A and B are shown apart, each in its own frame.
Chain A
Amino acid sequence: MSDDHARTPGAAARPRLAGTLPEPGVPKPDALLVLDGVSRSFGGLTAVRVDHLEVQRGAITALIGPNGAGKTTLFNIVSGFDRADGGRWWFDGHPLTGRPAHRVARHGLVRTFQLTRVIPRLSVRENMLLATSGQRGEQLLPALLRPLWHGQEREAGRRADELLERFRLGQLRDDYAGTLSGGQRKLLELARALMARPVMVLLDEPMAGVNPALTQTLLGHITRLRDEGMTVCFVEHDMDVVMGISDWVAVMADGRLVAEGPPHTCARNPSVVDAYLGKRHDEPGTPQGQE
């Protein structure tokens, strides 16, 4: 079953996106995340200026673009880790504009990081348990009374073990997360994000610095999440990775959304080719050349 899905990515989501025009800012039939006029500049540099972007529920959306296109900055803004200079955005109908990071996560929009952020001095299992939401034992006074949170903790522990097995980290569950390899950290971070029971995950370059075999494993996990109904949006700059699994691709360059569409149309889109290879007047040596 899962092999079939891997060969025909987007089996569920693609038909619903079939009638959607491949244009930047196009409305989606069932948009979960909607961004409008989001902008952010650092000094004189405009890092992000996205007029409109909608992310389809239950699909894998890839946000691609060359280095410095503003993908991560956009992620940081939406997830509450950076503030926007302007614009508004909604998640599942709730306005999230300017919400702090922990509020965004509690709405079900959970992110991972380009450089993994596992907690080195907690065990792998504790890293998982940390992500459980709504724990009574995380409040100062109830924390003192073990019976108040013990049952909830045991329940969370069961779920953590299940997820760890699924991500093949079960044997490492009592090790300090700081002893994991880079690839294992990537897996743990993804598993931990799922532990928070998100509606949508934002993955910031999940495949960066990962060997080809593990890339396939990660792609398999991401596809399976989508097939289970999760909405996935990830940042990537490697086009080949994106083509295989995404249902929809949004392309950014110089902070703007320059193209959108199913993977195969995007690859042929002239503005995408320009963004990746540069237009003629952008060639190195010309005075206007940007870094």
Chain B
Amino acid sequence: MDWSVVFSDALRSGIGPIAAVYALAAMGLNLHFGYTGLLNFGQVGFMLVGGYGLAVTVATYDGSMWLGVLAGLACAVVLALLLGVPTLRLRADYLAITTIAAGETLRLFYRSTWAEDVTGGVFGLQRFASDFYDLSPIPRGSYGVWLVEFNSRDLWVMIVGWALVVLTGALLALLVHSPWGRVIRSIRDDEHAPRSLGKNVYAYKMQSLVLGGVIGAVAGMLQAIQVQSVSPDSFDPAVTFFLYTLLVLGGAGRILGPVIGSILFWFVLTFLDSALRQAIDAGYISPDVISTSEIGAVRFALVGLALILLIVFRPQGILGSRKEMLLSER
């Protein structure tokens, strides 16, 4: 059993492009859930319209990448307005129901035969990412330090991805520590108080929903670029629950919560995957107990176990404050 391979796999996953994508999407969700108290269970829907906005513009209509980015962002704004207008005046649970349904509806809609001419149906779209990779200043090849190694394409996505994470983090930090953020945080605890003090709570919730959704759409575009294809089934509802998992893991309502959460989530997930694989190959675990094809399911079961332990022993997450969390339970 080769531990250096296990660590190499886990590290690569923890700092890799997909961890950046999930960190970014979870930062949008953090603005919704962690700061405004909006229960958005359809963040994957924002990722979907972002990714498809880019892919459809470039692959179907031969537009430029930048036009595609704009289209993706515009789709996210429209989606947020469509979701928010009817539900944000209602209690929080209605938004939860609406968003979870909307995410799934969007996926089915984009994969339908009716939309196939535009979205590529179940096959999705490919060949829209070359503009992005042409911008890369990194010469072709493979780069590595210590245990990890990436090819030039992944490295380029990683650099852009983590740069976006840093930028978004800075933007959100400025926002939540401003008077705007104070209103947002007060809505999270009790929306009647800010209303009685002259704050248009509905407008603030809408701004939060749009902004967090747009951040989700950027994550969706980055994911589409990284795998160089979009297909409806890569945007299934489980993605939203992974986002919640890593948000709770890192600490909701903390700027770095989703970043730490995403890195750790992917590190642990890949660590378990690789370690189980190695252990089976080396004969430490009999194939009768866990076969190689079952590893995918077992690692999620173990992540679930870790989450249960986290909720029991550190419910506020890694960065969260327990004191603050207890105050919200009145």
Cβ < 8 Å to A, chain B residues 197-230: 197-201, 207, 211
Tell me if A117 and B327 are in contact (CB < 8 A).
no
Shortest Cβ distance from residue A185 to the other chain B in the assembled complex, whole angstroms: 11
**Residue interface bits B164-190, CB-to-A below 8 A is 1, else 0:** 000000010011001111110110111
Question: Quick check: is A78 within 8 A (CB to CB) of the other chain?
Answer: no
Tell me if A122 and B196 are in contact (CB < 8 A).
no
Tell me if A105 and B197 are in contact (CB < 8 A).
yes
Cα separation A81 to B180 with both chains bound (whole Å):
23
Residues of B within 8 A of A31 (CB): none
Question: Quick check: is B237 within 8 A (CB to CB) of the other chain?
Answer: no
The one of A103, A122, A137, A192 in contact with B197, judged by C-beta atoms closer than 8 angstroms, is: A192
The one of A118, A120, A129, A192 in contact with B179, judged by C-beta atoms closer than 8 angstroms, is: A129
Shortest Cβ distance from residue B37 to the other chain A in the assembled complex, whole angstroms: 10
Closest to B179 in A: A137
Residues of A within 8 A of B190 (CB): 117, 119-120
Kindly state the interface size class of chain A when it binds its partner.
35 or more
Shortest Cβ distance from residue A141 to the other chain B in the assembled complex, whole angstroms: 9
Residues of B within 8 A of A113 (CB): 192-193, 196
Question: Quick check: is A153 within 8 A (CB to CB) of the other chain?
Answer: yes
Cβ < 8 Å to B, chain A residues 225-283: none
Residues A117 and B198 in contact in the complex (CB < 8 Å), given A138-B179, A143-B181: no
Closest to A176 in B: B327
Tell me if A135 and B179 are in contact (CB < 8 A).
yes
Cα separation A192 to B190 with both chains bound (whole Å):
15
Cα separation A129 to B182 with both chains bound (whole Å):
9
Tell me if A144 and B174 are in contact (CB < 8 A).
yes
Question: Quick check: is A178 within 8 A (CB to CB) of the other chain?
Answer: yes
**Residue interface bits B88-122, CB-to-A below 8 A is 1, else 0:** 00000000000000000000000000000000000
Question: Quick check: is B328 within 8 A (CB to CB) of the other chain?
Answer: yes
Residues of B within 8 A of A110 (CB): 196-198
Among A79, A105, A119, A144, residue most surrounded by chain B Cβ atoms (within 10 Å): A119
Question: Quick check: is A168 within 8 A (CB to CB) of the other chain?
Answer: no
Among B198, B207, B330, residue most surrounded by chain A Cβ atoms (within 10 Å): B198
Closest to B326 in A: A178
Tell me if B330 and A131 are in contact (CB < 8 A).
no
Residues A143 and B200 in contact in the complex (CB < 8 Å), given A119-B185, A121-B324: no
Question: Quick check: is A158 within 8 A (CB to CB) of the other chain?
Answer: no
Question: Quick check: is A213 within 8 A (CB to CB) of the other chain?
Answer: no
Residues A130 and B327 in contact in the complex (CB < 8 Å), given A79-B196, A105-B196, A117-B190: no
Residues of B within 8 A of A126 (CB): 182
Cβ < 8 Å to B, chain A residues 102-151: 102-103, 105-106, 110-113, 117-122, 126, 129-133, 135, 137-140, 143-144, 146, 149
Cα separation A276 to B73 with both chains bound (whole Å):
62
Cα separation A113 to B192 with both chains bound (whole Å):
9
Cα separation A149 to B183 with both chains bound (whole Å):
15
Question: Quick check: is B323 within 8 A (CB to CB) of the other chain?
Answer: yes
Residues of A within 8 A of B171 (CB): 144
Residues A102 and B195 in contact in the complex (CB < 8 Å), given A119-B185, A119-B186: yes
Shortest Cβ distance from residue B85 to the other chain A in the assembled complex, whole angstroms: 15
Closest to B201 in A: A102
Residues A138 and B199 in contact in the complex (CB < 8 Å), given A144-B174, A178-B327: yes
Residues of B within 8 A of A46 (CB): none
Residues of B within 8 A of A106 (CB): 198
The one of B192, B194, B199, B207 in contact with A81, judged by C-beta atoms closer than 8 angstroms, is: B192
Tell me if A176 and B323 are in contact (CB < 8 A).
yes
Residues of A within 8 A of B189 (CB): 119-122
Residues of B within 8 A of A178 (CB): 327-328, 330
Residues of B within 8 A of A139 (CB): 180
Residues of A within 8 A of B200 (CB): 100, 102
Shortest Cβ distance from residue B11 to the other chain A in the assembled complex, whole angstroms: 35
**Residue interface bits B137-155, CB-to-A below 8 A is 1, else 0:** 0000000000000000000
Shortest Cβ distance from residue B249 to the other chain A in the assembled complex, whole angstroms: 20
A-side interface residues toward B, CB under 8 Å?
Answer: 79-81, 100-103, 105-106, 110-113, 117-122, 126, 129-133, 135, 137-140, 143-144, 146, 149, 153, 176, 178-179, 192-193, 196
Can you sample 10 A-B contacts with CB below 8 Å? A110-B197, A117-B192, A121-B327, A129-B179, A130-B193, A131-B197, A140-B175, A144-B171, A144-B175, A153-B179
Q: Besides A129-B179, A143-B174, 5 other CB < 8 A contacts? A: A105-B197, A137-B179, A144-B171, A144-B178, A149-B179
Question: Can you list the 6 inter-chain pairs with the closest CB atoms, starting with the nearest?
Answer: A178-B327, A137-B179, A143-B180, A105-B198, A143-B178, A117-B193
